[in-house]
């Protein structure tokens, strides 16, 4: 079959059962293409001229030997994707063309690296040592658990006794001072005297 492609090497690293096996594969396949992918993934040299989202592209259905591009040579185009002074639409178009010319596995590896989702399962210190990077180990921030107050059952309220409605008696409806009714006719002679 010949030389493994970058996508195959990355998959071999991901699927290696032990950390020492992952490190052995990376050490044996040191190449600028893999170094650049890791630099893009960990933010050492990100694609700053591209948006932080997946562009629309149609993956190539061709098998490895028949693709137009390979990541072993495509890494030389990466400076264009870091050029913030270039026209954004041109840079995005070139990135899409590169993705479409790669095999689907390599296109996915490049896209994952651009989005920072390429997880090789190796520690950052090893990558720094192997490639001469200065990647900071991710700081894991754990939030303290909220203090839970002991759950005490709430007291059940005592039932309120029902009071039967009371009907007023005839004595209570009659008041001591009856309200005078209004006089329907006004009285004469209450005007000004002339």
The answer to whether residue 170 sits within a structural domain is no
pLDDT category, 183, cuts 50, 70, 90? low
Query: Does residue 27 have a pLDDT over 70?
Result: yes
DSSP state of 60: B
Query: Does residue 171 have a pLDDT over 60?
Result: no
Question: String of b and e for 30-55 (b: at least 16 CB within 10 Å)?
Answer: eeebbbbbbbbbbebbbbebbeeeee
The answer to whether residue 57 sits within a structural domain is yes
The answer to whether residue 24 sits within a structural domain is yes
What is the model's pLDDT at position 45?
Answer: 84
The answer to whether residue 50 sits within a structural domain is yes
The answer to whether residue 68 sits within a structural domain is yes
The answer to whether residue 97 sits within a structural domain is yes
Query: What is the average pLDDT across 117-146?
Result: 79
What is the model's pLDDT at position 1?
Answer: 45
d(CA 98, CA 36): 15
Largest CA distance in the chain: 132
51 in Cβ contact with 84 (< 8 Å): no
Query: Does residue 46 have a pLDDT over 60?
Result: yes
pLDDT category, 73, cuts 50, 70, 90? confident
Domain that residue 85 falls in: 6-131
What is the model's pLDDT at position 76?
Answer: 82
Query: ∠ CA(174), CA(176), CA(177), 5° rounding?
Result: 110
Query: What is the average pLDDT across 19-27?
Result: 87
pLDDT tens track for 93-128: 888 888 888 888 888 888 888 888 888 888 888 888
Query: Does residue 139 have a pLDDT over 80?
Result: no
Task: Specify the 3-state DSSP secondary structure of 103.
Answer: strand
The answer to whether residue 164 sits within a structural domain is no
The answer to whether residue 81 sits within a structural domain is yes
pLDDT tens track for 74-102: 888 888 888 888 788 888 888 888 888 88
The size of the chain, in residues, is 194
Domain count across the chain: 1
């Amino acid at each position: 079959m010949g030389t493994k492609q970058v996508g195959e090497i990355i998959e071999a690293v991901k699927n290696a059962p032990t950390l020492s096996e992952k490190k052995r594969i990376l050490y044996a396949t040191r190449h600028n293409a893999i170094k650049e992918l890791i630099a893009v993934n960990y933010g050492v040299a990100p694609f700053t001229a591209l948006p932080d989202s997946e562009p629309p592209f149609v993956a190539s259905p061709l098998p490895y030997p028949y693709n137009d591009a390979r990541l072993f040579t495509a890494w030389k185009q990466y400076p264009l994707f870091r050029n913030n002074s270039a026209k954004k639409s041109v840079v995005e178009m070139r990135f899409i063309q590169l993705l479409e010319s790669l095999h689907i596995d390599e296109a996915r590896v490049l896209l994952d690296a651009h989005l920072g989702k390429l997880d090789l399962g190796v520690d950052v210190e090893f990558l720094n040592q192997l490639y001469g990077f200065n990647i900071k180990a991710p700081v894991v921030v754990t939030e303290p658990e909220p203090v839970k107050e002991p759950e005490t059952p709430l007291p059940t309220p005592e039932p309120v006794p029902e009071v039967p409605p009371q009907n007023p008696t005839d004595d209570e409806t009659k008041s001591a001072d009856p309200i005078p009714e209004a006089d329907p006719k006004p009285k004469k002679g209450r005007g000004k005297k002339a």
